[in-house]
Chain A
Amino acid sequence: MDGLDDIVEEFLVESHENLDQLDTDLVALEQEPNSRERLSSIFRTIHTIKGTSGFLAFNRLEEVTHVGENMLSRLRDGELDLTPHRTSVLLQMVDTVRSLLTSIEATGGEGSVDVSAVVAGISAAMENGDGPAADAPAAAPAPVAAKAPAAAKAPAKAPAAAKAPAKAPAKAAAKKAPARKSPATAAAPAKRAPRAKAVPKPAPVAPEPVEELHDDLPVEPVLPAAVAEEHPVSEPAVDHPEGEAAAPDAAGGQTRRAVADSTIRVDVDLLDELMLLVGELVLTRNQIVQNVARQTDTDLIRASQRLNLIASELQEGVMKTRMQPIDHIWSKLPRVVRDLGLQLKKSIRLDMEGRETELDKTLLEAVKDPLTHLVRNSVDHGIEAPEDRKKAGKPTEGVLTLRARHESGQVVVEVADDGAGIDPVKLGAKAVQRGLLAQDALARMSPADILQLIFLPGFSTAAAVTNVSGRGVGMDVVKTNIEAIGGTIEVESEAGRGTVCRLRIPLTLAIVPALTVECATDRYAIPQISLQELVSLDAEKAANAVEEVGGAQVYRLRGELLPLVRLTDVLGLTSERHDGHVVIAVLRSEGRRFGLVVDRVINTEEIVVKAVGGQLKAIGLYSGATVLGDGTVALILDVQALARRALRTETTERQESRASVAAAAAAETDRQRMLLASIGGGRRVAIPLDTVTRLEQVRTDAVEKVGNREVVQYRGAILPMVRLDRHLGAYGETDREVLEVIVYADHGRSVAIVVEEILDIVDGEAAIRSDIDDMGLLGSAVLGDKVTELLDVRAAILAADPQFYSAHPATLAPAAFSPSAPSGVSDSLLEV
C-alpha cells in the first residue's frame, strides 16, 4: 500500500466511483436495452479503466476490460443485442474489475484474482446471447435459468450477430472451461449478491467451494490479495482454518479506510464558495476581535478568543481542501524532459525535490504552463549538448532539478539546471542589439541586473530558433503569468555552472497575509510576499543612517545600500509624521530591494482581496482593496508596480543575491581598485584606479587661467584642470595653498582632477552600487564603510577638456611612443 503512488490512488478512486455508476447503469440498461446513451456511457467507463490499467501495467485488469469493451462496442453499434445473459456477464466483469481494484489497493498488485473465466464468459456471450450452459459452462451464471423466458428470444438473433472472429475466443473459452470449474460455480452464488443489494462481491475470487480450497492451499497464503479487505467475501476465507494466513491482512484493513471510501470528489465551485465565505468570516472575526479587545467582559473576551481560533482553523481547513501536491503538475514533466531530450539528442536526468509540497489548486493550474515553459527552456537552452558538456569537463548527462518548498507562507519553486548558464555579456549585447537597452545603460548594470533582461518582452537568447523555444515569446509571458497570481520570479545564473529560475507563489489567492501600514492618515495593505523586513529608526538614528546620495535617499542596511521610496511621494500625499522617525518596509520586487518609507506600521492582518473597479485598476498602483478589521476599506499596494514606478528600471534592475553570480567577463569591471578621495562637504568620491596616471600636488599660485578655464603647467605641458568639488556641486575650501591633483592621461593628453584629499585605495565592489545617479556620477557604493559616490571619469575629464576624446588621430601616434609622455609612467603612480 505504501508503494501506491498517486496515479494509482487516483485511478482507484476514480474507478471505484465509475464502477458504482456501472452497476446502476447496467441494471437500468436491462430495463431499456436500447438506450444508446447508457451503453455509450458504460463503454466509456470501461474504456477508461482499460486505458489506465494498460498504462499502469495491470495486465489482467486490462484483459478483462478489453474483452468487456469489445462486447460493449458491439452492443453499442447494434451488432449485438443485450440479452439478460450478456448483462450478467457484464455485471460479472464489473465485479471482477472491482475485486482486481481491491487487490491493487490492498497489495499494489493484481494478486491472485482470476479473470480467465470472466473473459471466457464474455467471449462466449458475444457468440451466443442466451449463454446456454452447454456452450460455455464457465460463464453460466445463475440468473440465466430464472430469466430463461426472456432469453429465449435471443437465440434467433444470436447466430446473425455471431460473426466469424468471435469463434476463436469461444474455442479458447471452451478449452479453459474444464480447468476452471470452481470459479464457474463460484460465480453463481456471487452473482446474486449485487441484485440482493448486498455489498458487491468480487464474484469469481474468494468464495471457492471448500473442497477446492486445499488444492489452492499452497497458493492462498502467499497471495492474501485474493481476500479482499472489508468485503464480506473475505469472511468465508477467515472461517476456514486454511484461510487464516489471510486473516491478519483483512483485519488490518479494518483499521484504515480504503482509498475510495476515504475521499470524495467535491465540485471546485463549491470549494470556491466555501473559501469566499471563510474569507468573509475571517473579516468579521477580525472586526469582532478588534472590538472585543476594548471590552472588559471576560466571557466575551474568551468567546472571541475561541472564535478567533476556530476561524483560523476553519480557514486552514478549507484552504487545505483546495491544496494539491505540486506533483500533480510535475508528474507530467518527466515525459516532457524525456521527449525533448531525445529530440535534441541530450541526455538529461530529472530530479524532483519536495514533490509533496502543496499548493492551492487554482494556483497550481496557473503555474503549470509557466513551469513547463521553464523546464523546456532549461532543456533546450540551459543544458548543453553531450559533447559540449564533455569538453567542459562535466558528465554528459545533464541534471535538471525541480525543487519545491514552503518558505514563510509562500511556495518556492525552483527549476535548476547544471547547464552552461547565461552569459551576461552575450545577453547584454543581445539586448542592445535588439534595441531594448542603450549601450551606456548596459555598461552601468551589474551582471545580476543583466540577467533579469531575459524577462523583457521580445527577448530570446537562443542563437537558433528551435521548435522548442527561442521565438522571443516566453520568459516575459512566464513572468506576466506568475505576477498575475501574485507571485514573483527571479533568475540566477553562473556561467558554466547552470541557471536557477525561482518562482515565489502565494499559498492561496483569496486570503493574503498582509502588513497594514499608515501613510498620511490612510491605511494601506502590503502583501507579505513582498515584505522582507521592517526597519524603524528614531529621529536621531534616522538623521545619521539615512544618507542622501545625489538627491535621493538611501539607507545602509547591513552594509548594503537600500534605495528609499517615500510612499507619500509616490501617492502625492503629505506625510503626517513630523517627529523625524523613519519606518522602512524593506520590500523585494523582481529581485531588487527597496525601502518603502511609511508613516507607521499598524499590524499584520489576513486580508481578503476584493477587486477594484476599472478606474482604479488603471492607476496601476493598487492590486485591489480589502476591508480591514474595523470595517474601513484599505487599498492593497501593488509592490511590483510601485517599484517600477519609483525606481528607474535601467539603473535599478538588480538582484540581491549577487553571491552566486560572478561571470568571468564581468568580474573585471565588477571588482576594481578604487582611489578614494574627499571633495569637501563630507562627500567622498571613488575613481577607478586604472584611469589614474599620477597623483600630484600643485601649489595654488601655480594655477593659471586660460579663458575661463583653469590650467597648470606640468612637465612642460599645459594641463587643464577640473575642480571636482565644483564639478559635482560640493563646496570645499577654496583657499588652500596646495591642491591635491589626480592626473589622468590618455593618448598624449592629460587633465588634472582636483580633489580635497586623497584618502585611500580600496578594492571596490561595484556590485553594491545603489540606484541613485546624478550628473557626473555613476552611482554610489559603500566603500570603506561609508557611502561613496562613483565618479563618471569621462564626464569629469570633458569638463576640464572638452576636446579630450576628440583629439586628432594624427597627433596620437607620436605621442604614444614618446618616452616623456605621462602615459608612459603610469606604473609609477602613487607617489603620495
Chain B
Amino acid sequence: MTAPTLSSSAPATSGQLATFWLDGDLYGIEVEHVQEVLRSQQLTRVPLAPTAVAGLINLRGQVVTAIELRERLGRPPRPEGTDPVVIVVRLHGEAVSMLVDSIADVVDVDAGDFEAPPDTLEGQARDLIRGAYKLHGQLLLALDVQKAVNSA
C-alpha cells in the first residue's frame, strides 16, 4: 500500500483528492486511501458504540465499520429519506467506511492553493480538517481520514 500523504504533519500537498458532499460542503480525501464507493448499505447498529459509529456493513463477506461523517464533524443528521453513500477506505490494511451525502469528482489539487483551516470551523471538525484548497468558486476541505475514522 502506498500512502504518500498519510502523515497529517505535511498538510500542504499536491495530488488527487476524491471529493464528496456533506451538509453542503465539499470535502476531499486522498484518492490512494479510497478502496471503493458503494450505494447505501444495510447497517447493523452497534449498541453502546460511540455515536459516530453508524453500524457495521457486510462488504462481500467482510465486516466493515461505518462511520457517520456528519456526526463526526458535528453536523446535523442527514435529512429523512436521503440515503448516505458509503466510501470504503483502507488504512493500514484495515477497511473502514464513511457515510457521506453524495460523491463528487476526483480533483487535482495544487499545494499552492492550500490554506490552513478557516477560522470559522468549530472545535471538533477543526481537528479533522487539515486545511482547505481554494478551487474556483468552491472551497475544498481536506479531511484527515486517519483521524476521522480512528478516534471515532
Contacts and interface: CB of A to CB of B under 8 A. Distances in A.
Interface stretch (B60-68, B115-123, B125-133): B60-68
A285 to B, nearest CB: 12
Contacts of B61: 280, 283, 627
B142 interface: no
A633 B58 contact: yes
Contact of A572 (B48, B53, B150): B48
Contacts of B63: 610-612, 625-627, 633
Contacts of B96: 613
A145 interface: no
Chain A binding surface, main DSSP class: mixed
A280 to B, nearest CB: 6
A828 interface: no
Interface in A557-613: 571-573, 610-613
A612 B46 CA distance: 11
Interface string B11-42: 00000000000000000000000000000001
A635 interface: yes
A518 B55 CA distance: 17
Interface string A611-647: 1111110010110011100011111000000000000
B47 A573 contact: yes
Most buried by A among B42, B55, B61, B94: B61
A518 to B, nearest CB: 12
Given A625-B63, A632-B58, A615 B49 contact: yes
A365 interface: no
A321 B55 CA distance: 36
A635 B56 contact: yes
B148 to A, nearest CB: 12
A573 B48 CA distance: 9
A571 B44 CA distance: 14
Contacts of A633: 44, 55-58, 63
Contacts of B53: 615-616
Interface residues of B, number: 21
A619 B49 contact: yes
Contact of B46 (A280, A616, A627, A632): A616
B44 A615 contact: no
B50 interface: yes
Interface residues of A, number: 24
Contacts, number: 58
B83 to A, nearest CB: 17
A571 B58 contact: no
A771 B85 CA distance: 48
Nearest to A287: B61
B94 A613 contact: yes
Nearest to B47: A571
A634 B94 contact: no
B60 to A, nearest CB: 9
Given A613-B65, A613-B94, A632-B58, A619 B48 contact: yes
A622 to B, nearest CB: 7
B104 interface: no
Contacts of A613: 65, 94, 96
Most buried by A among B42, B49, B152: B49
B147 interface: no
A644 to B, nearest CB: 14
Nearest to A620: B48
A626 B62 CA distance: 8
Contacts of A625: 44, 56, 63
A522 interface: yes
B65 A612 contact: yes
Interface string B104-117: 00000000000000
A631 B48 contact: no
Nearest to B43: A633
Interface of A: 280, 283, 522, 571-573, 610-616, 619, 621-622, 625-627, 631-635
> What 9 pairs between A and B have smallest CB-CB spacing?
A571-B47, A633-B44, A633-B56, A610-B63, A613-B65, A625-B63, A633-B58, A619-B48, A627-B58
